[in-house]
Amino acid sequence: MANKKKDFDPDSELNQAYKNAQHVHFQGIDMDSFIYKNVCPTQAILSVLFNCTHEDLNLGATLTEFKEYSQKFHPKGVGLFDTQMKCVALSSHGPIRDVHNCFAKKQLAEFYSDDEKKEEYAFHFIVYIPFKGYLYELDGLKTVKNNKILLKILLSFFFKAPIDHGAFPEDNECLDVARPIVQQRIQKFIEDKTHFRLMVIVSEPGKKYERELKQILANSSLTDDERNAQKSNLSKLINEEKRKKAHRIANLRRQHNLAAASKQVIVLFLKQRKDDLLI
């Protein structure tokens, strides 16, 4: 008996994964996979920055150079090779690695036996970003789910792509699409008794106030009294943001451990003093 030819199912999981990967590649979204431990927060933040097109964002020379370099790995598709190579490049990038390491907990070196090892909590970061009219979920650990082992391996290798949560209207914010999705995830965390934190990357308020101030000064429909009143209010807000920024910098300087630097200064001073005495 001849085998019956199976009809093509356009809604199959494999086909949906393929369309999702091709759609994401067409959009040009930037995503990394997690193959190293303790890099999740850095990759999550960079996933937001590298896919953000807001006018207030300035990546700077270092991140711009890395973004352009990492986009050359796999230009013809979105797959595990592409995302893993980006993660390798990220972990090998000196300036980014130094900044990542500086956020490690500052403590004295401690040694424990296997029986005395302290329990550590595992943290994972998931990103939601608006990108070209669509809301995406970036999770470097998540692959397309399937109960069949071989198909799961195939999907996880070729289709490690962001999750498309649908489009949002141009005249509307992505928050209307993201809010119920995030609320559903939060509810699941609460039911599972999982601790979580919700963080948002936004523009500096100072830049927003300065942009509004320029618009007010250029608005000829306002009277002098209205313009002066709004200008005075925004100027106060701008000065307050500058004061907060100066306070944050001063607070960071007070918290920084200068013991190693002070020791090195003393060593160099004594060495110079010794050389002067010999002369």
- Does an H or E element contain 157, and which? helix 149-158
C-beta of residue 204 within 8 angstroms of C-beta of residue 237: no
For residue 120, pLDDT over 80 is answered with no
Mean pLDDT of 208-216: 87
- Does an H or E element contain 42, and which? helix 40-50
DSSP state of 12: S
Here the tokens at position 203 are 């523009």
- Which of these is catalytic: 23, 25, 40, 247? 40
User: Among the listed ranges 42-51, 87-96, 108-117, 221-230, which one has the minimum average pLDDT value?
Assistant: 108-117
C-beta of residue 25 within 8 angstroms of C-beta of residue 77: yes
On the CB side of 69, how many CA atoms lie within 13 Å of its CA?
14
- Which of these is catalytic: 23, 74, 124, 256? 124
For residue 224, pLDDT over 70 is answered with yes
Q: How buried is 51 (Cβ within 10 angstroms: 0-12 exposed, 13-18 middle, 19+ buried)?
A: buried
Question: Amino acid letter at 202?
Answer: V
Residue 36: which pLDDT band, with cuts at 50, 70 and 90? Answer: low
For residue 159, pLDDT over 70 is answered with no
On the CB side of 174, how many CA atoms lie within 13 Å of its CA?
16
- Placement of tokens 């939601």 in the chain: 128
For residue 270, pLDDT over 80 is answered with yes
The model scores a pTM over 0.85 = no
Here the tokens at position 117 are 């090892």
Residue 142: which pLDDT band, with cuts at 50, 70 and 90? Answer: low
Higher pLDDT, 143 or 275: 275
DSSP state of 128: E
Asked about 124 being catalytic, the answer comes back as yes
